[in-house]
Amino acid sequence: MSDRLPGFSTLAVHAGAQPDPTTGARATPIYQTTSFVFNDADHAASLFGLQAFGNIYTRIGNPTNAVLEERVAALEGGTAALAVASGHAAQVVVLQQLLQPGDEFIAARKLYGGSINQFTHAFKSFGWNVVWADSDDIASFERAVTPRTKAIFIESIANPGGSITDIEAISTVARKAGVPLIVDNTLASPYLIRPIDHGADIVVHSLTKFLGGHGNSLGGIIVDAGTFDWSTGGKYPMLSEPRPEYHGIRLQETFGNFAFAIACRVLGLRDLGPALSPFNAFMILTGIETLPLRMQKHCDNAKAVAEFLAGHPAVASVSYAGLASDKYNQLARKYAPKGAGAVFTFSLRGGYDAGVSLVSKLQLFSHLANVGDTRSLVIHPASTTHSQLDDAAKVKSGAGPDVVRLSIGIEDKEDLIADLEQALGA
């Protein structure tokens, strides 16, 4: 064996996996079982007491899911990861470890529409209060910090406009405030951006999107960077205080730089229950093997489509950070030099009606509420994903009435452009 550290594409194929020790199966088997037999009573007791690692019950962990966890942790440069049932489940499990009722977290206003809903309504009912900030105005994060702030949450490439967030600048604010920075890296994937390299303490994903990549399986994942000290000032009691359910152990003291991933598993997933099906883990693992190939093609196609739209008379503006003229192009060159992702918006001179009409005329693009599929997708956010927001909030989150969002797939770019041409021109 050479001393070379494996590169990204090698990790995407191999990290976490080995031939099955029992059967020799080369692809990771789907361990479709709810539970696992203990060696003996002592073994069972040590697993339940967190004195030994091993499989108990698929709600807490599963060998297929474990390969997925190790692979994404390797791709993101984290110490450990936890797979869960969806991206939204990942967000709940993360914040449950950090916030007590009455606490606050700061979130960038430019977010996936579902996250805006989750933070505003569902989390409020848990007593977790979101305070909004503007990722184009770093000082707005600083101003939002209070003694009850427990975390900062941003997207690396933000939905729906494809804007690039200055992760390092916001990580500096988080460090100063003594709180972890959580980055939703769904739209970039670790192929384009590795937030931990820029100061993120926790990375979350909707695996449903580019990591799975084929639009066939929901999933989510939490990656622990191992960078945050949870023991200071009693601010994070889930990690620093003795846990009554585990004979009084303190997770930070016992598990060190992967204590957060452990907390998410043994306090979050175990008790809240959003476990990922091993079948979905298998589908997503298969998708990840081709992530570097797909992501590059997604980005190259997106750039070509964005350039075409920018030159079309029916189009008022295109918001794609990969265009030299875009206001986020400098940040894209710094954070995502291989490509600015494949999800972006453009606005139509014809406003709301033109948006609705375009969506109905497109043939190759599917009209649906998802991103990160091999297929190209289109949606009109104002009448769908962001319809719950008032007009001012729609504009603020990049989803005004004239805005159309595209997620560019891996088809031939000439076919995508031809489809847009007929739909815009007719």
Ligand X SMILES: *Cc1c(COP(=O)(O)O)cnc(C)c1O
Residues that bind ligand X (CB under 6 A): 86-88, 112, 114-115, 155, 159, 184, 186-187, 206, 208-209, 218, 220, 371
Q: How far is the CB of 372 from ligand X (least distance, A)?
A: 7
Residues 6 or more apart in contact with residue 201 via CB below 8 angstroms? 174, 180, 181, 182, 225, 227, 228, 260
Q: How far is the CB of 376 from ligand X (least distance, A)?
A: 16
Q: Fill in the amino acid letter for 331.
A: L
How are beta strands 149-155 and 403-407 bridged, if at all?
A: unpaired
Q: Judged by CB, which is closer to ligand X: 99, or 107?
A: 107
Q: How far is the CB of 370 from ligand X (least distance, A)?
A: 7
Q: Judged by CB, which is closer to ligand X: 67, or 84?
A: 84
Q: How far is the CB of 53 from ligand X (least distance, A)?
A: 27
Q: Judged by CB, which is closer to ligand X: 97, or 186?
A: 186
User: Which of 373, 396, 420, 367 shows the shortest CA–CA distance to 160?
Assistant: 396
As a whole number of angstroms, the distance between CA 369 and CA 379 comes to: 7
Task: Give me the residue whose beta carbon is nearest to ligand X.
Answer: 87
Q: Judged by CB, which is closer to ligand X: 47, or 302?
A: 302
271-294: buried (b, 16+ CB within 10 Å) or exposed (e) per residue? eeebbbbbebbbbbbbbbbbbbeb
Q: How far is the CB of 157 from ligand X (least distance, A)?
A: 8
Q: How far is the CB of 96 from ligand X (least distance, A)?
A: 16
Q: Judged by CB, which is closer to ligand X: 105, or 112?
A: 112
Q: Where are the alpha helices (DSSP H) in 266-412?
A: 270-272, 278-289, 291-310, 329-335, 351-361, 391-396
Q: How far is the CB of 167 from ligand X (least distance, A)?
A: 15
Q: Judged by CB, which is closer to ligand X: 113, or 315?
A: 113
Q: Helix (H, G, I), strand (E, B), or coil: what is residue 319?
A: strand
Tokens representing residue 415 in the block: 């076919």
As a whole number of angstroms, the distance between CA 263 and CA 182 comes to: 16
Q: Judged by CB, which is closer to ligand X: 155, or 402?
A: 155
Q: Judged by CB, which is closer to ligand X: 107, or 306?
A: 107
Q: Judged by CB, which is closer to ligand X: 217, or 240?
A: 217
Q: How far is the CB of 114 from ligand X (least distance, A)?
A: 5
Q: Helix (H, G, I), strand (E, B), or coil: what is residue 290?
A: coil
Q: What's the helix, strand, coil split of the chain in %, to 5?
A: 45, 15, 40
Q: Fill in the amino acid letter for 310.
A: A
Widest distance between CA atoms in the chain: 73
Tokens representing residue 78 in the block: 């984290």
Q: How far is the CB of 373 from ligand X (least distance, A)?
A: 11
As a whole number of angstroms, the distance between CA 187 and CA 206 comes to: 9
